[in-house]
Amino acid sequence: MAKLKEFLKHGQSIWLDYIHRDLFTSGELKKLVKDGLRGITSNPTIFNKAIAGGETYDPIIKELVQAGKSTQEIYDELVLRDIIDACDELSAVYKSSGGEDGFVSLEVSPDLAHDTEGTIADAKRYNEAVNRDNLMIKVPATIEGYAAVTELIAVGVNINSTLIFSNEAYRNVANAYIAGLEKRAGNGEDISKIASVASYFVSRVDGPVDKRLQEQNNESLLGKISIANCKLAYELYQEIFSGERWEKLAEKGAKPQRLLWGSTGAKNPAYSDVMYVDELIGKGTVNTVPPATLDAILDHSVVADTVTKDLDLAKQYLAELAALGIDLDKITTQLMKDGIVSFQDAFAELMQSIDEKKKAFQTI
């Protein structure tokens, strides 16, 4: 387990992209934190698998049904219990890291992805309900989401900007964060305790790109574009969080918004199961991994500074892709749309499952 602490020596924190009540009751989370885990991320799909995928949560659901709670109230209670328990388990990491790590992410309703005011209201509601300094609220990187991020940062809510697939979206997210800090500082409020990450979804990009490459019988770029794109994002991170505009905020204690690599489990079995981890290690980054990828990391990851390595080659790969007539912007735009729909579907499925369990328990 010392492997997780090796990443930290290179400036990267490993978070777990998974949450389930069993993590707490079994003591597994406590052990992982002791061994170097630095945070947790969740999303509607993860909660759907946890709550609807078994009977672990049924006793709590039955209790809430008997108390006359609605389906939405039951959902909130189930999710908030897990998030609060996770925050408490990671509070020591938050304190010892000076507020750099120890965060637990909770996503606003995916149905609000294109609703700025609704997102702000949902985020504030969850932030108040959890009432923990190490909570991060996840907001999708839509046009409406950018505006919500600025307002939420300005009022002191930690933000995980999620579903980022392109460097244009990443730049917008980073600028929204900085604008929020500027607004908060302009109001005379402390910005030193605000934290944010920008969640860049990695492996999903290679799927549709590889498909188009194979259609052109091009094997030289297979499995290379997503990592190349992320390396350029890191170069952008270094550019944005430096210079006069940023330094004015840094002097007031502002923390850079760290790049978080998400969706880092390899989807293609032909690729190494730690490819999207080992190739993106570097200072000021986070990698959030599902349990299977965490096991693979512990078994055979090679930890070294890699995110800044072969940057010119990464740019060459992207230039070659464009020369083939493959439009990466078009692909990432579609991935964003698909990602929102996927989370909306998972959320709807979870609410339906809770509703069905509710009806079953009402007849007992």
Residue 16: count of CB within 10 angstroms of its CB: 24
> Residue 173's closest CA among 110, 240, 243?
240
* CA separation for the pair 161, 174 (Å, rounded): 9
DSSP 8-state assignment for residue 336: H
Amino acid at 125: R
Helix 58-66 to helix 71-89 angle (10° resolution) is: 130
Beta carbons of 260 and 200 less than 8 angstroms apart: yes
List of long-range contacts for 110-113, beta carbons under 8 Å, 24+ apart: 110/44, 110/140, 110/340, 110/343, 110/344, 110/346, 110/347, 111/344, 111/347, 113/140, 113/142, 113/144, 113/145, 113/340, 113/343, 113/344
* CA separation for the pair 177, 152 (Å, rounded): 9
Q: Which residues contact 23 (CB under 8 A, 6 or more apart)?
A: 29, 86
Beta carbons of 148 and 118 less than 8 angstroms apart: no
Beta carbons of 148 and 120 less than 8 angstroms apart: yes
Cα–Cα distances in angstroms (integers) from residue 211 to residues 20, 75, 148, 205, 243, in the given order: 34, 38, 35, 10, 40
The residues assigned a catalytic role are: 138
* CA separation for the pair 54, 337 (Å, rounded): 29
Amino acid at 203: S
In the block, residue with structure tokens 């002791």? 34
Beta carbons of 134 and 94 less than 8 angstroms apart: yes
